[in-house]
Chain A
Amino acid sequence: MTDELELLREADPVSARTGPWRDRPLDARAELLLRRLHLQRRRRTVRRRLLAVEGLAAATVLALALTVSGGGSTPAVAVPRPLVAHASRADVPLAEIARRARAAAEAAPGRSVRGSHVQTWSMGMESGEGARPPVTAPVESLTTWNADGSGTLLEVATDPRYPGRPVIDGGDPPRTVHDGKVMNREHYPKGTYGANLEYFEAPPAGVAALRAYLAAWLPGAEEDPVSLLSAVESFQTVWTPGPRQIADIATLLSRMEGMRPAGRVTDRLGREGQGFRMSGSNGSRYLVILDPDDGRLLDLELTATRAEPDFRLKAGAVMSYTAWRG
């Protein structure tokens, strides 16, 4: 009879020889962590990282305390409706968008730029008895950083759909604040890499190289389309991609299993793009919007496809939405 410990060894779910946790020299993430330990800096918040990696934005649980400010002004608190795509003969296939992106990159190559300019709508939920409905906090973020690890972060509560109206902030508990209120302003000294928690090395050119680069911070991105999409989202909160990386990302997306054409979409910033849908995982769905002319990723919308009563989440609710302004 086989020894029970030997059976257990054979069933080890995490290998030291293969997979993301295999033995090897430290990767970029681990090296950065070690550097940060020496600088005795802690990661700023779990929330920001989750936003970047999971694409669920502020799925952290928030207490709901909506207090509408006076003066008769209506706060822009509504949960955004999912964007609607319209199929037409003018639709541009994803492969064609990728081809255009590559042509644009050849005509005018340029480098990716450190930093990003992003508008997000992030849903917060609570669960359990007495759980109140989700709230969605709209935030505009401007991130800059330098090769020496210094940088800045500016986060402003604003909803471009309702200029001038009060908005819900992303605090705990959420409050109603005036449009344009600065929620967070940070300055990071050199060496700290505080403005970019990941992807601090310059992105490579080439589809395979870029995929490997993206997967360095989210190992599942090597195989899994959803993880790859999350990695792209994360990357684009750190870098504003140049033409080469735009083309490589468009090519990666065009090769991604499960991407289905949705049609033309006008995004929440009023830009027209070409939409593609992809099932997220159980109970969620992505809408990916690209600029049909140069392949830029304009928006990423994550929608619940089924209700989660415990969280008072309705089917069709937008859980997170990211619009890149850069």
Chain B
Amino acid sequence: MSTDDVFDAAYREHYWAVSRFVARRLDEQTADVEEVVAEVFAVAWRRRAELPDPPLPWLYGVARHCLANTVRGRGRYRRLLARLGHHELTRDQRTAPGPDAERPGSWVLEALDRLGEADQEVLRLTAWEELSVDEVSTVLGCGRSAAAMRLHRARRRLRTEIDRLHRRDSVVLGCVSGTTGKTASDKDGRP
């Protein structure tokens, strides 16, 4: 297969995966996602001779750079759009009400948001993009052992935040509602 054919095959196979990668990091804002994805593949096309096998982690790496440029370049415009609420339908999807919400998994995003960006990224790559440690190291441009260590630390910090949220919400529910929360005294049957 020629270089162009290899690129075409990678494009067809991974277009939606790259779109999801970008959407997750732009709060799904459709127009922006499409712009960035177009840029990712434009860059990949120019560098198609470097396309590795498998190509997806490399494409994610390209996407990270494009996203960084996009966020820098559109700061003011995006702030305006956000103020005007043109993306309100998707913008608020990350707001998580708490551990007892209808979607049990969604509140973990709040815990994720409390971590540093580097921790968040290695966790997203592992959980959402389902990359192996080797692949994560390709995306982040670091060694395998460094990627493994980052992931280990990030998981630990995420667990800490999750536990902290659990404790906070238990306290809040116990004090405010008085009926739905389970406090220590509830469990003991005491008032």
A and B associate: yes
Inter-chain contact A37/B41, CB cutoff 8 Å: yes
Interface of B is mostly: helix
Cα-based distance from A282 to B163 in the complex (angstroms): 35
Instruction: Determine the distance from Cα of A304 to Cα of B114 in the docked complex, in whole angstroms.
Output: 34
Q: Which residues of A contact B108 (CB under 8 A)?
A: 4, 7-8, 10-11
Q: How far is the CA of A143 from the CA of B105 in the complex (A)?
A: 48
- Assess whether B93 is in contact with A4, with CB atoms less than 8 Å apart: no
> A10–B105 contact, CB under 8 A?
yes
Check A8 against B123 for contact (C-beta < 8 Å): yes
> B126 to chain A: which residues have CB within 8 Å?
5
A53 contacts the other chain (CB 8 A): yes
Question: How near does chain B come to A20, taking the closest CB pair, in angstroms?
Answer: 6
Task: Check if A49 sits within 8 Å of B127, measured CB to CB.
Answer: no
Bits for B88-128, please: 1 = Cβ < 8 Å to A, else 0.
11100110100000011111110010000000000110111
Bound-complex Cα distance A218 to B30 (A)? 7
Q: Contact flags (1/0) for B22-64 with A, using CB distance below 8 Å?
A: 0110011011011100100110010000000000000000000
The answer to whether A112 has its CB under 8 Å from any CB of chain B is no
Q: Within 8 Å CB of A126, what residues of B? A: 76
Enumerate chain A residues within 8 angstroms of B158, measured Cβ to Cβ: 4, 8
Which residue of chain A has its CB nearest to the CB of B25?
Answer: A14
Interface locus among B79-87, B136-144, B170-178, B183-191: B79-87
- A215–B94 Cα distance when bound, in Å, is 23
| Distance of A40 Cα from B41 Cα, bound (Å) | 11
Chain A residues with Cβ below 8 Å from B35 are 46, 49
A282-B30 contact given A4-B158, A13-B24, A311-B80, CB 8 Å threshold = no
A212 within 8 A of B: no
B72 proximal to A (CB < 8 A): no
Task: Return A1 CB to nearest CB of chain B, in Å.
Answer: 9
Contact of A38 (CB < 8 Å), options: B4, B38, B103? B4
**Among A13, A56, A219, contact of B30 (Cβ-Cβ < 8 Å):** A219
A226 neighbours in B (Cβ, 8 Å): 86, 89
Q: How far is the CA of A22 from the CA of B159 in the complex (A)?
A: 29
Interface on A for B, CB 8 Å cutoff?
A: 4-5, 7-14, 16, 20-24, 26, 29-30, 33-34, 37-38, 40, 42-43, 46, 49-50, 53-54, 56, 59-61, 125-128, 218-220, 224, 226-227, 280-284, 304, 308, 310-311
User: B: which residues have CB within 8 A of A?
Assistant: 4, 8, 11-12, 15-17, 19-20, 23-24, 27-28, 30-31, 33-35, 38, 41-42, 45, 76-77, 79-81, 83-90, 93-94, 96, 103-109, 112, 123-124, 126-128, 155, 158-159, 162
| New A-B pairs, 18, CB < 8 Å, besides A11-B108, A34-B12 | A4-B155, A5-B127, A8-B124, A8-B128, A12-B127, A13-B24, A14-B23, A20-B30, A21-B23, A37-B41, A43-B38, A49-B31, A61-B76, A127-B76, A226-B86, A282-B85, A304-B84, A311-B80
